[in-house]
């Protein structure tokens, strides 16, 4: 069992460079032990229930053993199924083109690394042109760049047809390719409901041989694999025979015990009830072999026949041995269950934290993330380190890109930033006389002044579901209604300006008490249709707004220069925003105004505050009574 030293650049994890155990080996140890103990318990129970029939002692055990082998091999083959389905899905989504190995290479290499059972991936178009990648014995990858066309029989060998369900994988049986024997698993490459080609995963017979060899070692019983019923393609006691995947007929097999399968027949003196779909064969005489076999079926195809064999004479010795070990097995079962519970909790705790952290990332809830601790399990430790680093990177990234945009990118991909026309509400804010305000401040004090002010403005924008577009000197541009659709974008924008008004008033009172000049602010807001999305060229783009209505919002902010007197804040909104927000009672009309650079006048409204009434409230109230 390999022990490895933790090596990471993360300072938190760099402190712990002790040994770690691979999660793969840990799970193999735990579940392998549980399976072995379970089999021992099953055999012990069989001893008490079937003492008069020695063959019945292994009935349940044999069924479970072959079913376990069946599941193990199927799990391995399903890796190839998932690989070809992944390639088909990537092709369907225009991830690459047939014949373009340059784009295929990274996908194929990643999939081969994730599925050790797969020795190669081949992609064919309907003309037989081939690209692909094979795994070399030393772990390197050999790439095919499509400079050779395969004959039509290659496609036919994988049973590809235009009317086949595109989600169905086809198991093509044993095939010979480049001098090696492989199990071929294929799937159609379909795009726009049209068959374009086929992807083939090659499972090397040597890989299957390694699996059978390992199973035989774990069970301490000879395990074999047949290509149907006639040829042996893997044998756990002689794995060196099948390094090149060449099948050997049963009649010519060099192992005498295995060769007896050729003359074995269904026993007449053995009760076969309870063996489910297993095939039982045996030879005459006390020294004959008993063969238990099961066909591995996919759809209508028989992929393999898997089996075990042992001597009849071994059964009596097995009975004596099992009776003695049954009690030990019971005790081990209790210990194993307790250990499994303990280990399961130890494993579940960090995995739960990792899952919760991933969920926070998927929703871009960085503030809910808590740094993950180090673990002695290598894979968990690596994941924790990666997630901690990802949190640091995303936290820094979110300072430069609007948080709603990042959330949409995580949920929707590139479609989140696709340019669309949409109604939004735009806000521009600008500090009045910032040059005069900062001329007696050094660089650090100026930066602090701006950061404190921007924090106040941005907090109000974020709390009302707004998106900060950019900072221009001492100005802020923001908008509501994108990237996430918001039916109340105008109302939220107005609420944001009212929050800014309240916070500015509190801040200025503190500044005056400290002997500092108050900050004066102009804000303009307007509602209208704009183009919103990624704007730019090359490798530099901004998620922003484009359109005449953006200019209207900016002109409203600049109009404040003409109206602002001694008050600290002037908020000017267009009639469109006031009507859309539904909270116009907080604003007073300034009448019709012609904005700079525009010909048509618009109705302008100003936010009411204690200090900034353009028309006194008392006079307005008297007018309402009249």
pLDDT (mean) for 250-271: 82
Q: How far apart are CA 504 and CA 311, in angstroms?
A: 91
pLDDT (mean) for 596-607: 88
Residue-wise DSSP of 382-445:
HHHHHHHHHHHHHHHHTTTS-HHHHHHHHHHGGGGG--EEEEEEEEEEEEETHHHHHTTS-HHH
Q: Which of 193-207, 252-266, 296-310 has the largest mean confidence?
A: 252-266
For residue 545 the two structure tokens come to: 């707004």
Are residues 98 and 230 both part of a single domain? Answer: yes
Domain-embedded: residue 41: no
Domain-embedded: residue 265: yes
* Averaged confidence pLDDT in the chain: 75
The interaxial angle of helices 23-49 and 314-362, nearest 10 deg, is: 140
Confidence of residue 156 (pLDDT cuts 50, 70, 90): low
Are residues 257 and 117 both part of a single domain? Answer: yes
Specify the pLDDT at position 16.
Answer: 45
Are residues 347 and 373 both part of a single domain? Answer: yes
Are residues 508 and 454 both part of a single domain? Answer: yes
pLDDT (mean) for 390-415: 60
CATH of the domain at 219: 3.30.450.20
The three-state secondary structure class of 430 is: strand
Domain-embedded: residue 406: no
Domain-embedded: residue 44: no
Task: Name the DSSP class of 2.
Answer: -
Are residues 333 and 477 both part of a single domain? Answer: no
Specify the pLDDT at position 445.
Answer: 86
Domain-embedded: residue 616: yes
Specify the pLDDT at position 550.
Answer: 92
Domain-embedded: residue 39: no
pLDDT (mean) for 226-234: 79
Are residues 116 and 206 both part of a single domain? Answer: yes
- Rounded to two decimals, the pTM is 0.41
Which one is predicted more confidently, 207 or 198? 198
Are residues 172 and 236 both part of a single domain? Answer: yes
pLDDT (mean) for 1-30: 48
Among candidate residues 264, 280, 312, the one where a domain is terminated: 312
The interaxial angle of helices 489-513 and 443-463, nearest 10 deg, is: 140
Confidence of residue 493 (pLDDT cuts 50, 70, 90): very high
Q: Where are the alpha helices (DSSP H) in 50-97?
A: 59-92
Instruction: Please check the confidence at residue 163 and state whether its pLDDT lies above 60.
Output: no
CATH of the domain at 496: 3.30.70.1230
Instruction: Please check the confidence at residue 310 and state whether its pLDDT lies above 50.
Output: yes
When computed from its CA atoms, the radius of gyration of the chain, rounded to whole angstroms, is: 37
Specify the pLDDT at position 538.
Answer: 60
Query: Dihedrals φ, ψ of 186, to 5°?
Result: -130, 165
For residue 449 the two structure tokens come to: 């002044």
For residue 422 the two structure tokens come to: 């949409």
Are residues 102 and 176 both part of a single domain? Answer: yes
Among candidate residues 312, 347, 369, the one where a domain is terminated: 312
Mean pLDDT check: name the lowest of 56-65, 152-161, 163-172. Answer: 152-161
Q: How far apart are CA 466 and CA 460, in angstroms?
A: 8
The three-state secondary structure class of 477 is: strand
Are residues 511 and 579 both part of a single domain? Answer: yes
Q: Strand locations in 447-488, DSSP E? A: 466-472, 475-480
Residue-wise DSSP of 581-608:
HS-GGGEEEEEEEPPTT-SS-EEEEEE-
Which H or E run contains 27?
helix 23-49
Instruction: Please check the confidence at residue 3 and state whether its pLDDT lies above 60.
Output: no
Among candidate residues 285, 312, 339, the one where a domain is terminated: 312
Are residues 307 and 345 both part of a single domain? Answer: no
Mean pLDDT check: name the lowest of 108-122, 142-156, 345-359, 453-467. Answer: 142-156
Integer CA distances (angstroms), 496 to 423, 428, 430, 467, in order: 18, 12, 15, 12
Which one is predicted more confidently, 305 or 379? 305
Integer CA distances (angstroms), 330 to 33, 42, 238, 485, in order: 13, 10, 34, 62
Number of domains in the chain: 3
Domain-embedded: residue 582: yes
Query: Which tens digit of pLDDT belongs to each residue from 515-546?
Result: 888 899 999 999 999 988 877 666 666 778 88
Mean pLDDT check: name the lowest of 152-166, 467-481, 609-623. Answer: 609-623
Q: Which range of residues forms the domain containing residue 356? A: 3-28+322-396
Are residues 189 and 78 both part of a single domain? Answer: yes
Q: Which of 124-138, 143-157, 475-489 has the largest mean confidence?
A: 475-489
- Asked if residue 314 lies in contact with residue 220, where contact means CB atoms within 8 angstroms, the answer is no
Domain-embedded: residue 401: no
Instruction: Please check the confidence at residue 622 and state whether its pLDDT lies above 90.
Output: no
Query: Which tens digit of pLDDT belongs to each residue from 110-130?
Result: 998 888 888 889 888 887 788
Are residues 352 and 454 both part of a single domain? Answer: no
Residues 6+ apart with CB under 8 A from 500: 429, 456, 457, 460, 521, 523, 569
Task: Name the DSSP class of 21.
Answer: E
């Amino acid at each position: 069992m390999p022990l490895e030293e933790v090596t990471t650049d993360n300072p938190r994890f760099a402190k712990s460079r002790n040994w770690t155990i691979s999660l793969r080996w840990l799970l193999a140890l735990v579940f392998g032990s549980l399976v072995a103990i379970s089999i021992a318990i099953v055999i012990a129970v069989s001893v008490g229930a079937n003492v008069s029939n020695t063959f019945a002692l292994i009935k349940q055990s044999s069924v479970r053993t072959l079913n376990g082998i069946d599941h193990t091999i199927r799990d391995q083959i399903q890796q190839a199924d998932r690989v070809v389905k992944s390639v088909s899905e990537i092709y369907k989504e225009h991830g690459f083109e047939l014949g373009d190995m340059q784009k295929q290479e990274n996908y194929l290499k990643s999939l081969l690394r994730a599925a050790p059972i797969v020795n190669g991936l081949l992609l064919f178009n309907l003309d037989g042109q081939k690209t692909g990648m094979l795994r070399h014995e030393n772990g390197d990858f050999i790439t095919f760049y499509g400079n050779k066309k395969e004959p039509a029989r290659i496609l036919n060998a994988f049973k590809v047809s235009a009317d086949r369900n595109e989600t169905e994988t086809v198991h093509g049986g044993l095939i010979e390719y480049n001098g090696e024997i492989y199990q071929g698993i294929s799937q159609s490459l379909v795009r726009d409901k049209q068959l374009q080609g086929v992807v083939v995963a090659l499972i090397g017979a040597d890989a299957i041989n390694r699996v059978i060899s390992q199973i035989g070692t774990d069970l301490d019983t000879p395990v074999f694999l047949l290509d149907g019923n006639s040829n042996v393609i893997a044998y756990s006691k002689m794995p060196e025979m099948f390094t090149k995947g060449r099948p050997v007929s049963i009649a010519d097999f060099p192992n005498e015990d295995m060769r007896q399968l050729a003359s074995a027949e269904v026993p007449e003196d053995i009760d076969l009830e309870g063996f489910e779909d297993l095939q039982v064969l045996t030879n005459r005489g006390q020294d004959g072999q008993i063969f238990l076999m099961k066909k591995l079926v996919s759809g209508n195809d028989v992929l393999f026949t898997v089996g075990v064999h042992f001597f009849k004479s071994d059964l009596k010795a097995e009975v004596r041995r099992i009776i003695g070990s049954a009690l030990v097995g019971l005790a081990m079962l209790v210990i194993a269950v307790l250990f499994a519970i303990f280990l399961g909790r130890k494993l579940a705790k960090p995995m739960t934290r990792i899952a919760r952290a991933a969920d926070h990332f998927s929703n871009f809830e960085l503030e809910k993330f808590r740094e993950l601790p180090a673990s002695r399990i290598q894979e968990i430790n690596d994941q924790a380190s990666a997630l901690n680093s990802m949190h640091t990177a995303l936290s820094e990234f979110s300072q430069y890109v609007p948080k709603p945009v990042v959330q949409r990118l995580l949920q929707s991909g590139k479609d989140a930033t696709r340019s669309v026309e949409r109604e939004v509400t735009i806000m521009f804010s600008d500090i009045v006389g910032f040059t005069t305000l900062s001329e007696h401040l050094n660089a650090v004090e100026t930066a602090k002044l701006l950061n404190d002010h921007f924090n106040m403005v941005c907090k109000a924008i974020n709390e009302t579901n707004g998106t900060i577009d950019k900072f221009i000197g001492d100005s802020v541009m923001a908008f509501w209604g994108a990237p996430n659709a918001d039916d109340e974008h105008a109302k939220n924008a107005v609420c944001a300006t009212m929050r800014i008004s309240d916070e500015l008033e509190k801040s200025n009172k503190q500044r005056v008490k400290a002997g500092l000049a108050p900050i004066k602010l102009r804000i303009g807001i307007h509602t209208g249709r704009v183009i919103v999305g990624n704007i730019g060229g090359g490798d530099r783009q901004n998620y922003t707004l484009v359109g005449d209505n953006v200019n209207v919002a900016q002109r409203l902010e600049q109009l404040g220069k003409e109206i602002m007197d001694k008050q600290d804040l002037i908020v000017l909104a267009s009639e469109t925003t006031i009507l859309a927000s539904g909270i116009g009672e907080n604003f007073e009309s300034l009448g019709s105004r012609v904005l700079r650079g525009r010909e048509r006048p618009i109705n302008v409204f100003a936010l009411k505050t204690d200090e900034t009434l353009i028309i006194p409230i008392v006079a307005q109230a008297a007018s309402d009574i009249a």
